[in-house]
Amino acid sequence: MRRLFIAAAALLAAISCSSDRSGVLKVYNWSDYIGEGIISEFEQWYKEQTGEDITVVYQTFDVNETMLSKIEKGHEDYDVVCPSDYIIERMLNSGLLLPLDFASIPDSINYIAKNRSPYIEKMFREINPEIDANDYSVAYMWGTTGIIYNTKYVTDEEASTWDVISNPKFKDQVLIKDAPRDVYGPVLIYLKQKELKEGKVTLQELMSDSSDESIAAVEEYLKSAKDNVLGWEADFGKDQMTKGRGVLSLNWSGDAVWAIEEAAAVGVDLKYVVPEEGSTVWFDGWVIPKYAKNVKAATYFIDFMCRTDIAIRNMDETGYVASNGAWEVLESQIDEEQDAVDLSYFFGEGADSVHVDGTLYPDKAVIERCALEHDWGADTDKLLAMWSRVKGDNANSMTYIIIGALLLAIIAAAAVSAHKKRARHSSKRRRR
Ligand code: N2P
């Protein structure tokens, strides 16, 4: 491990000292978001296509905001990163992205052009009303935000509403994604369900609602649920659920697919639902930041990730859904034991009743009650301040037990050391 660390540090040092970065590609992606061996296969493929050697330096993040602030503040020279929709919007607004040039890739291997899904293209056009995000980003994975629940303790009916998060029956049993926007959206949708039903507001309008009044309402709701919160998790919630630690998790559909499968292997029955009030549908896309130093390799990397066999392997290993709209992807997911879902919105005609996992690919009716999040610009700070108030306020009983135990240990250690000191003094006095 130590040797590996020294080698990585030496590689990074060599890269930063050399001005020629053509042999290195720096990728910054979400954790647990790529199949085994895909990176080294890309390195080989790149050599076959271009005759040039490439070494990928691969780093991961768990939270959109961490990734963004590294690029905004530190001007990190990542060549390709994978933000979510509202962050792509923000990066576009602040001129942080380079336009993509796929004309530079030979037609025969231009997988992006071949496998584009019209649904994804349409949703990407909605990302930023001013600038077409399709010119700056290629979708990687997408999904919904919902609830993973353990059917031994939670009924389908209880999980069918976001209200379940604050249900007193689930004290200390709820895991919540440490992703402020992905929690804010669904909670606001839940709180405004009456206005939504009456047509006084639309889902899309709520996704841009950063008013003080709405932030305060979400804060109040989350604080009312704090006794239920077992933890705010960046990426461990899915694993905890498989071990039966926590019975509910506000989470992404891809983590749900992974958790449901792992849990089944150890006899734990988990399910996933997008509550009936509605939720968010999200898209993560590859982009090339303006501080990139190897645009050519970044462009090839994005293209490689759109190759159908690579997309299928990434899906199968991570649990997330590839944005690749090729019919072969659908065929690879057909499972007659699953209920039929309507995926015509994604795969087109002929896909209105296909037997695939509805957690992986949401049915058209689910998509119709979901909306895309939008960037809040400067108002994001108000959200982050609210988020830390909610989390800071969330010391649950376990936190108090740990703090109490630590205090007792400190007091005990101080008492023992004082006692030893006194004993040393009195034996010195006796000797004199
Ligand atoms: C996978 C993270 C998925 C990101 N660990 C969802 N936007």
Tens digits of residue pLDDT in 187-207: 999 999 999 999 999 999 999
Distance 30 CA to ligand 1 centre (A): 6
Q: Is 140 in the pocket of ligand 1 (CB under 6 A)?
A: no
- Nearest ligand 1 atom to the CA of 235 is 5
With tokens 């992974």, the residue in question is 258
Residue in 252, 314, 317, 318 to alter for ligand 1 test, most ligand atoms within 8 A of Cβ:
252
92 neighbors 128 (Cβ within 8 angstroms): yes
- Nearest ligand 1 atom to the CA of 182 is 7
pLDDT value, residue 133: 97
Give counts: helices (H), strands (E), the chain: 20, 13
- Give me the mean pLDDT over the 6-26 stretch: 64
285 neighbors 137 (Cβ within 8 angstroms): yes
pLDDT value, residue 197: 96
367 vs 400, higher pLDDT: 367
Q: Which pairing describes strands 137-150 and 321-322: parallel, antiparallel, or unpaired?
A: antiparallel
pLDDT value, residue 8: 46
Question: Confidence class of residue 116 from pLDDT cuts 50, 70 and 90?
Answer: confident
Distance, CA of 171 to CA of 151 (rounded, Å): 16
Q: Is 84 in the pocket of ligand 1 (CB under 6 A)?
A: yes
- Residue 8, helix vs strand vs coil: helix
Question: Would the pLDDT of 5 be above 50?
Answer: no
Distance, CA of 407 to CA of 404 (rounded, Å): 5
215 neighbors 290 (Cβ within 8 angstroms): no
Q: Is 41 in the pocket of ligand 1 (CB under 6 A)?
A: no
Mean pLDDT for the chain? 91
- Residue 175, helix vs strand vs coil: strand
Q: Is 182 in the pocket of ligand 1 (CB under 6 A)?
A: no
Question: Would the pLDDT of 263 be above 60?
Answer: yes
**Number of neighbouring beta carbons within 10 Å of residue 106:** 9
Residue in 61, 62, 65, 141 to alter for ligand 1 test, most ligand atoms within 8 A of Cβ:
141
Distance 374 CA to ligand 1 centre (A): 17
Q: Is 142 in the pocket of ligand 1 (CB under 6 A)?
A: no
- Nearest ligand 1 atom to the CA of 282 is 7
Question: What residue's CA is closest to ligand 1, atom 4?
Answer: 30
Distance, CA of 69 to CA of 131 (rounded, Å): 22
Tens digits of residue pLDDT in 314-356: 999 999 999 999 999 999 999 999 999 999 999 999 999 999 9
SS3 assignment for 93-133: HCCCECCCCHHHCCHHHCHHHHHCCHHHHHHHHHHCCCCCH
Distance 285 CA to ligand 1 centre (A): 11
Distance, CA of 424 to CA of 432 (rounded, Å): 13
The pair phi, psi for residue 375, each rounded to 5°, is -65, 145
Residue in 33, 87, 257 to alter for ligand 1 test, most ligand atoms within 8 A of Cβ:
33
Distance 82 CA to ligand 1 centre (A): 10
Question: What residue's CA is closest to ligand 1, atom 3?
Answer: 30
What letter does residue 227 receive in the DSSP assignment? G
State both tokens at 25.
């590609």
Distance, CA of 247 to CA of 223 (rounded, Å): 19
Q: Identify which of 96, 120, 100 has the alpha carbon closest to the alpha carbon of residue 283.
A: 120
Q: Which helix (H) or strand (E) holds 204?
A: helix 203-207
Any idea what the Cα angle at residue 352 is, between residues 321 and 113, rounded to 5°?
50
401 vs 407, higher pLDDT: 407
Q: Is 111 in the pocket of ligand 1 (CB under 6 A)?
A: no
Sign of the dihedral defined by the CA atoms of residues 47, 82, 259, 401, in that order:
positive
State both tokens at 9.
């540090």
Q: Is 317 in the pocket of ligand 1 (CB under 6 A)?
A: no
What letter does residue 393 receive in the DSSP assignment? T
Q: Is 280 in the pocket of ligand 1 (CB under 6 A)?
A: no
Q: Is 30 in the pocket of ligand 1 (CB under 6 A)?
A: yes
Of 34-43, 133-142, 254-263, 405-414, where does mean pLDDT reach its minimum? 405-414
Question: What residue's CA is closest to ligand 1, atom 2?
Answer: 30
Q: Is 239 in the pocket of ligand 1 (CB under 6 A)?
A: no
Distance 237 CA to ligand 1 centre (A): 12
Roughly what angle, to the nearest 10 degrees, separates helices 380-392 and 212-224? 20
Q: Is 258 in the pocket of ligand 1 (CB under 6 A)?
A: no
| Side-chain-facing half-sphere of 111: CA atoms under 13 Å | 20
Question: Would the pLDDT of 1 be above 50?
Answer: no
Q: Identify which of 319, 293, 315, 295 has the alpha carbon closest to the alpha carbon of residue 305.
A: 315
CA distances from 417 to 405, 423, 430 (A): 18, 10, 20
**Number of neighbouring beta carbons within 10 Å of residue 39:** 18
Question: Confidence class of residue 75 from pLDDT cuts 50, 70 and 90?
Answer: confident
